Amino acid sequence: MSVWLRSAGLWTSVLFVALLWFLLELQGVGAGEAARELWNGAFGSPRAWLATLRAFSPLCLCALSVTLAFRAGLWNIGAEGQLVLGALAGIATGLATNRVWLALLGGAIAGTLWAFIPAILKTYRGVPEVLCTIMMNFLALELLRALLAGSLQESSGQFLQSDPLPAAARLPEWSLTRSGGIHAGVLLTVVLAPLLFVLLWRTRVGLLIRGIAKSPATLRAQGFPVARLQVLTLSGAGALAGLAGAVEVTGVSHGLDTSIAQGAGYAAIAVALAARLHPLAVVPTALLFAGLASGTDSLQWIAEAPGLDRFALVVQGLVVLFVLAYLSWSGRRQRHG
């Protein structure tokens, strides 16, 4: 918790609440009532917790993906596309093999391969990874539509979606409400965060990964394979985002349609930056963002303000600007201090 308090996560929540209060006051909604409904919609009941945790898992995995890449100085904006590829591979593998672990593995491999392309272009051809990963997102969406209208379309051929996964290809659940429960992907997500922390801060490989962002020329001069490390790091980030897509289809939707691309890969950038790129701080920050999203969805019906869900996206953008400004300020203070 102390890690999270030292991150921007706490200040992010303060910023969100202040902006939300201002917007609600403009619409004539009492701030006290709004805060109560926001809390109830996010954490106030088992049903609210279920909605929050369902949004938490893909968001947290994508934020861990972004954290890994950014720690190596690689601006991976392609978590959204990697998630989509992971979902495609997860549903295809699950339907073909009837095995949930193979579906998860297939999703991770697909995300890895999808990130491998911009990694190679970045390290060996000098293509900026920001532009390349963004373009890969659009390619992933088009591939999703093409496959859902083709080989992955459901049996009747009437809808742009896949067949549902069989029970054996779904993640196990622990009942929370009559309408559903917590799937095992949430536990997997929470376990991966400390493992990523250990990798980055307790291993020689992690030291090299973090060193790439600070001084790649020094590492090259010492004979370290910087290009190979960049490719492996960005590919590993793709594996985490691809796993997020596989967890989503095996643990929540149990099928695939175009709604899989809801912006979790982009929101993950705000989560990772708000957590100051610290894997342990990513978990509570992702839970906060997931709770704010589910709470805002509930609040917009109570307050009769349908634009609040879009307002959450505005806040995410403000969070990115807020954290980048803070990092820029702290960096200048260290250089001149």
Q: Give the pLDDT of residue 26.
A: 64
47's CB contacts (< 8 A; 6+ apart) are 177, 179
- Classify burial at 222, counting beta carbons within 10 Å of its beta carbon; exposed 0-12, middle 13-18, buried 19 or more: exposed
pLDDT tens profile 65-83: 999 999 999 999 999 999 9
Percent over 70 (pLDDT), the chain:
76
Token representation of residue 305: 């303000």
DSSP state letters, 236-305: HHHHHHHHHHHHHIIIIISS-BGGG-SSHHHHHHHHHHHTTT-HHHHHHHHHHHHHHHHHHHHHHHHTT-
First-residue to last-residue Cα distance in the chain: 29
Token representation of residue 91: 């549903």
DSSP 30: -
Q: Give the pLDDT of residue 288.
A: 86
Q: Are 296 and 308 in contact (CB under 8 A)?
A: yes
DSSP 169: G
Residue 69 to residue 229: CA distance in whole angstroms? 11
Per the listing, tokens 């920001």 go with 130
Q: What are phi and psi of 29, to 5 degrees?
A: -100, 130
Residue 129 to residue 84: CA distance in whole angstroms? 18
pLDDT tens profile 203-239: 999 999 999 888 888 888 888 888 899 999 999 999 9
Q: How far is CA 242 from the centre of its chain?
A: 10
Nearest to 243 by CA among 51, 68, 102: 102
Beta strands in 37-178 (DSSP E): 173-177
Single-letter amino acid code for the residue at 87: A
pLDDT tens profile 83-94: 999 999 999 999
Q: Give the pLDDT of residue 78.
A: 93
pTM: 0.87
pLDDT tens profile 111-163: 999 999 999 999 888 899 999 999 999 999 999 999 999 899 998 888 889 99
Residue 156 to residue 213: CA distance in whole angstroms? 51
Range of weakest confidence among 73-87, 243-257, 278-292 = 278-292
Q: How many CA atoms lie within 13 A of 226 on its CB side?
A: 20
DSSP state letters, 60-97: HHHHHHHHHHHHTT-----HHHHHHHHHHHHHHHHHHH
Domain ranges of the chain: 60-279
pLDDT tens profile 306-323: 566 666 666 666 666 666
Nearest to 94 by CA among 238, 256, 244: 256
